[in-house]
């Protein structure tokens, strides 16, 4: 169990799974830059967060609900939690810009919200939903044992890196790095190329020192 003072932002799980270096730049070095994609995401969340709570179609819709899990050591908030008025399992809903992604970072963030709610309310939650802005429809996410385990592992890894307090080295991937708002701060390609050149030079020096010397 973690103490209140040790809790880390739940939203960091998404950053961590997207790129550990990105997570460290944001959550250890406190670096941040906005780009078009992050601005669109922030605007979408503001629209959702500022809407009032309401009841409709037999469901109580609660927005910006504070969350925490002392077991995983995370804290944050849910965009929306739907409480069925006639009983049944509640449903966390996370809003995302764009379309479903190839990785599991959105699913893990949503699963972490469910785990927080389970711990806080002593309930069991089987499913949640991701609402993507481009198709404007929900993707239903089942909280399988594998997804729960991946979420717990991500939370543990986040605390491990935070305790270590160091930023991982860059690993340039064009499909991720070119879309990241921190690319100018991170400089992944330049630093990776520099590290590769340095390693090559070090190997060359070692090899030269091991060559047999000519004798007269």
H runs (alpha helix) in 28-173: 36-50, 105-121, 145-164
Q: Which structural domains are found in the chain, ordered by start?
A: 4-167 (3.90.320.10), 169-211 (no CATH)
Q: Tell me: the pLDDT tens digits for 2-30?
A: 999 999 999 999 999 998 988 998 999 88
Q: Three-state DSSP class for 56? A: strand
pLDDT given at position 209 = 66
End-to-end CA distance of the chain, in Å?
71
pLDDT given at position 148 = 98
Q: Which residues are paired to 92 by β-bridges? A: 81
Q: Three-state DSSP class for 167? A: coil
Percent pLDDT > 70 in the chain is 78
The length of the chain is: 216
pLDDT given at position 210 = 64
Q: Which residues are paired to 62 by β-bridges? A: 81
User: In the 8-state DSSP scheme, what is residue 5?
Assistant: G
* CB contact at 8 A, 192 and 172: yes
In what helix (H) or strand (E) does residue 188 lie, and over which residues does it extend?
helix 188-210
Whole-number Cα distances in Å, 144 to 7, 14, 111, 125, 159: 24, 18, 9, 11, 23
pLDDT given at position 204 = 54
Q: Which residues in the chain land under pLDDT 70?
A: 33-53, 191-216
pLDDT given at position 37 = 47
């Amino acid at each position: 169990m973690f103490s209140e003072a040790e809790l880390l932002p739940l939203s960091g799980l998404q950053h961590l799974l997207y790129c550990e270096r990105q997570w460290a730049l944001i959550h250890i070095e406190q670096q941040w830059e906005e780009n078009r994609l992050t601005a669109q995401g922030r605007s979408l969340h503001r629209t959702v967060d500022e809407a009032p709570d309401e009841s409709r179609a037999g469901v109580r819709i609660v927005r910006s609900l504070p969350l925490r899990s002392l077991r995983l050591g995370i804290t944050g908030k849910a965009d929306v939690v739907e409480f069925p008025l006639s009983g049944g399992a509640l449903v966390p809903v996370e809003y995302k810009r764009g379309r479903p992604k190839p990785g599991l970072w959105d699913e893990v963030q949503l699963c972490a919200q469910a785990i927080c709610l389970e711990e806080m309310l002593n309930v069991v939650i089987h499913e949640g939903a991701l609402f993507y802005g481009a198709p404007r429809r929900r993707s239903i996410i089942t909280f399988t044992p594998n997804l729960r385990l991946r979420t717990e592992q991500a939370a543990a890894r986040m605390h491990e890196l935070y305790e270590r307090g160091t930023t991982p080295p860059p690993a340039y991937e064009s499909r991720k790095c070119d879309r990241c708002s921190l690319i100018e701060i991170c400089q992944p390609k330049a630093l990776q190329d520099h590290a590769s050149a340095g390693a090559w030079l070090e190997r060359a020096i070692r090899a030269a020192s091991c060559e047999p010397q000519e004798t007269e």
